[in-house]
Each structure stands twice: as C-alpha cells, then as structure tokens.
Amino acid sequence: MDISTDIWGQLAVEASQVYLSDGTVRSPFADTTIEKLPDKVLLHIFSYLSHREICRLARICRRWRQIAYDTRLWKNVSLRPEVSGLHVGSLEMLLQLISVRFGPTLRYIELPIELITHTVLHELSAKCPNLTHMLLDFSTAMQLHDFSEMQAFPTKLRYMCICLSEVIFMEGFMRKIYNFINGLEVLHLIGTYEKCEEEEEEIYEVINVHKLKSATPNLRVINLYGINFIDDSHIDAFSSNCIQLECLAVNFCNKVTGSTLKTLIQRSKRLTCLLMNGTSLKSEFVMQAEWDKCALQELDITATDLSTECLVDMLTRIPSLKFLSAGQINGFNDSVLKQWVESGVTRSLISLDLDSSDNITDEGLLKFLQRQGHQLSACCLSGMPHITDQLWMSILPLLGNCKIIVMGTAEKLGVNIHVDQLMDTIASNCGNLERLELRWDPDNLRFSDKSQKAIDILRVKCLKLRCMVLSDGRYYETVKANFERADRITVVRTTTCCRVSPYHLLRNYNDLIFN
C-alpha cells in the first residue's frame, strides 16, 4: 500500500509532540537546553573547535570557562598567530599556561621565535613529560635569544620541525640540544625556498647538518624542504649514520644533483620513499645507482631534467615501485611508458602523476592505462592541453579503483569541456573516489540547466568524496551550493586555496606533514 510522504511527515511530527491537558502542544525536548548537557558531552563538543574558538567560549560563563581550560583540549597547541590565531602576550603568561593548562597532557607544540627561550624550554621539559612533537619557527628571526644558560630540553621528542632563517646561524642553540634529541624519529628542516628572490644572494649554511646527523642516529623520516644550501654531501652524511632511514625528502633543494645516490641506495637498505621534486638531478649520476637492488616503493622526480634514456634505465630497474610522480619532465614520453610496461615491473604501481608531460600522446597514455588503470588508486594527468574530456571519457572506465583523480589545465583551450558528461562518467565508474580536482579554466567549462542532476548523481554515488577542487567561477558556485544543501559544506573548494595531491597515498604521509 502506498502512503504519501506527507502522511509519514505528519506521523513524525505527532510522535515528537506531547499534548497537554489544556490542549496546547509542546515538544518533549522543550526544556532541554545546552546548559543541561553534562560536562563530558560539552567537552566532546568543544574538542571539535579550534583553540581560538574555545578561548571565546571561555568568556560565556564560569562553567564553560572551566571546561574550556580542561587540559584534554590542549594536547596539540600552536602558538604561532599566523597559523592558529593565538597570540601569547608575554613569556610570563606562557610559563603559566605550560604549568596550569598544558601540563602532562601536552603532546605537540608550535613556538614562534619570540617564545623560544631557555626558560620556556626548561618549563616544557619539567612540566610536560609526554611532549613528543615540537615545531620551532626561526624563519622570521633576525637575532636569537641567549641560550648559554640552557640546561634542559624535552627528552621524549619523536618529531621535531625547525623552520630555518636565511641569516641566523643555529649552532649556538643546536649545540645545547644535541644531547637531548637522540630519540628523534622524524626530522623536518624547512628552508626559505618560497621566500627567495630572483637575484642571487650569498648563501649561508645556517645549521650544521654534519653535527646534527651524529646526534640523531634513530631517524626514520628526514624532510629537508627548500633549503638553498643542502647538497649531496648532506644526503651522504645522513645516510652514513641513520641506518633506520625509511623516507628521505629533499624537495626544492636545488643543489642536489644525485652524485651520492649510489651510496645512499647501498647504505639505506630500509629506504622505501625518495622525494626529489625540483632538484637538479643529473642523468649520469642517477644511472649509476643500483636501482635493481633497492627497496624503493615511492619516488618523486617531478620538475627534474632527466633524459629519456635515464628514465627508462631507472624505472625498468626498480623492482616494486608503487608511487611515481614524474611530471614536468621533457624526457618523459611514450617510449618511456612502453618500455616500462614491457619490463614487467609496473605490477605494483598504484599511483601515477604525470603533470604537464606534454611529450606523452593520447594514444600512448591510453595504451598504458588499459593495462595498468585497474590497479591505480591515484591518477593525475593535469597540465596537458591535449588531454580533454573526450579522452577522459575513455580513461575513467579504466580507473574503477581510483581514490584520487586530477585532470585539466589552467591555460585556456580552443575547445570546450562538457563537464556534465564528465561528472556522469565519474559517478558511474569511480565509486571509491575521495579527492577530485578539475583545473580547467571556468571559461572552457560548458554545462546546462541539467547540471544539478549530474552533480546530484556524483554526490550520491561518490559518498567517500571528501574534497572536490574547481577553478573559481559559475560552475564552482553551482557545485558548492549543491553540496552545501546536502550538508557537505567542506567538500567543494577552489584552486586558489587548495590543490589535490597523490601524496596522501604515501606510507609516511602523516610524518611528512609540517606547518
């Protein structure tokens, strides 16, 4: 028997109402307010808020203030105003916070240069015995505090991130902490790559890597990001002392040429992840490495100048590569893809990023994906004007297991992209999709009045979709409004502030996150 939705709605309304003796209607929850919620429920609600929002709520009433200052809400704290919005006005206030609000529950803390003093570090060492993660931001420093009297430092650190300055030498500070950091497993040294200017300036080695490696023999993950003085000798230094090394990232360290890769591969038997995006790798050095004897599974060589011969030699010799980012390389062409497949070593591949690989043809790419597409969890083919929606319509049915897809190019095309058909094809074939980015210029996107239906189908069928990135324009506004009506307000974003990357699939992704 069919019962209309209006009848079901009426039944639901009546079930939620209580009829009083005087004939008035009242909800059984009318007397329930947030004040009547138990403290543990409020504490759980507060745990979803940022610390800046929690501080605002502390002004509401005495009870909320007490809950807001519960140490369980302050396990992970950033005191960098540009990151968290929290600004500590004085060292005395910070020392009081460490003692009263943070205490033994503190696990992670970020400190800006003005709060990095020997008294603060002493207090953290004494009052926060469970502190395991620390970020020290020296990037804006023009002068260090005096650390001559520093006698203590947190001893249980497993993760440390140091944001370097271009001009401040760190040895005075580092000399004081070497004896306390031998338990480190994850180390980030963040340079000033994003701040550098076109003009060449004098480069200073502001931290002594050779001494640092001797103090940190247990490192598993090393991330040297955008440091203008890092070269192959520093890679050699770490590989000589860190026998546990699993992941080495030297992205945007443009002095790295690969001359010590052979030694690195020979020494680091556990190395499974090597990220060298934006380095100055030389083909002759790369070809000398014994890739056939390595345990490497994840490799990023994006924006390097490797030759076709070198790419073929390296890729066909790595026995179990799972993750490859090799975009923006002129030498990467159909011949590389063909010989790589024929070598039989692509059976483990789950992630492929060929951003801006203009020398790969549609035919070569389609042949490769017909053989390997079913096993891919990430496929990023952006920045190539010749790959339009027509080719994607042929590719998407081959990507049934994909979780991450990036398509399109920001440059204007001479053809239009029929995005409604594209959304239908994605929804029909990629039910496991979690992250999607369309980089096409808004002016190239063509959609109709039926777009809402195509978006509805995508939203309903791709329930795991947590991030969809589009260029700002009419289509972005349409998609964003659709998802917001379904109460999925954080899914749709713009390319202005967000980019999708296959890095989410890296085994050490959580350890590689900084800032």
Per-residue pLDDT tens listing for the chain (515 residues): 444 445 545 545 555 555 555 556 666 656 677 888 888 999 999 999 999 999 898 998 999 999 998 889 999 999 998 888 888 888 999 999 998 889 899 999 999 999 999 999 999 999 999 999 999 999 888 888 889 889 999 999 999 999 998 888 998 899 999 999 999 999 999 998 655 444 456 778 889 999 999 999 999 999 999 999 999 999 999 999 999 999 999 999 999 999 999 999 999 999 999 999 999 999 999 999 999 999 999 999 999 999 999 999 999 999 999 999 999 999 999 999 999 999 999 999 999 999 999 999 999 999 999 999 999 999 999 999 999 889 999 999 999 999 999 999 988 888 889 999 999 999 999 999 999 999 999 999 998 877 889 999 999 999 999 999 999 999 999 999 999 999 999 999 999 889 999 999 999 999 999 87
Alpha-carbon torsion 365, 433, 296, 226, what sign?
Answer: positive
Rounded distance between C-alpha atoms, residue 385 and residue 154, angstroms: 52
**At residue 275, what are phi and psi to the nearest 5 degrees?**
-115, 115
CB 313 within 8 A of CB 341: no
The enclosing H or E element of 405 equals strand 404-408
Q: How many domains in the chain?
A: 1
CB 82 within 8 A of CB 106: no
Residue 343 lies inside a defined structural domain of this protein: no
Residue 8 lies inside a defined structural domain of this protein: no
Average per-residue pLDDT for the chain? 90
Q: Which pLDDT score is estimated for 4?
A: 47
Residue 277 lies inside a defined structural domain of this protein: no
Structural domain for 406, as ranges: 350-510
Residue 269 lies inside a defined structural domain of this protein: no
Q: How many CB atoms lie within 10 A of CB 155?
A: 13
Residue 437 lies inside a defined structural domain of this protein: yes
**What ranges make up the beta strands (E) of 90-184?**
108-112, 133-137, 159-163
> Which residue do the tokens 């506004």 mark?
477
What is the signed CA dihedral for 409, 415, 421, 427, rounded to 10 degrees? -10
Integer CA distances (angstroms), 442 to 308, 348, 352, 419, 474, in order: 35, 36, 26, 11, 7
The 3-state DSSP class for residue 27 equals: coil
Residue 221 lies inside a defined structural domain of this protein: no
Residue 105 lies inside a defined structural domain of this protein: no
Residues contacting 457, CB < 8 A, separation 6+: 423, 424, 427
Which burial class, exposed, middle or buried, applies to 356 when counting CB atoms under 10 A from its CB (0-12, 13-18, 19+)? middle
CB 360 within 8 A of CB 330: no
Residue 424 lies inside a defined structural domain of this protein: yes
Alpha-carbon torsion 462, 468, 472, 477, what sign?
Answer: positive
Rounded distance between C-alpha atoms, residue 456 and residue 408, angstroms: 22
CATH number of the domain bearing residue 484: 3.80.10
Output the pTM of the full model. Answer: 0.89
CB 323 within 8 A of CB 298: yes
pLDDT tens figures, 212-235? 999 999 999 999 999 999 999 999
What is the signed CA dihedral for 54, 498, 506, 266, rounded to 10 degrees? -110
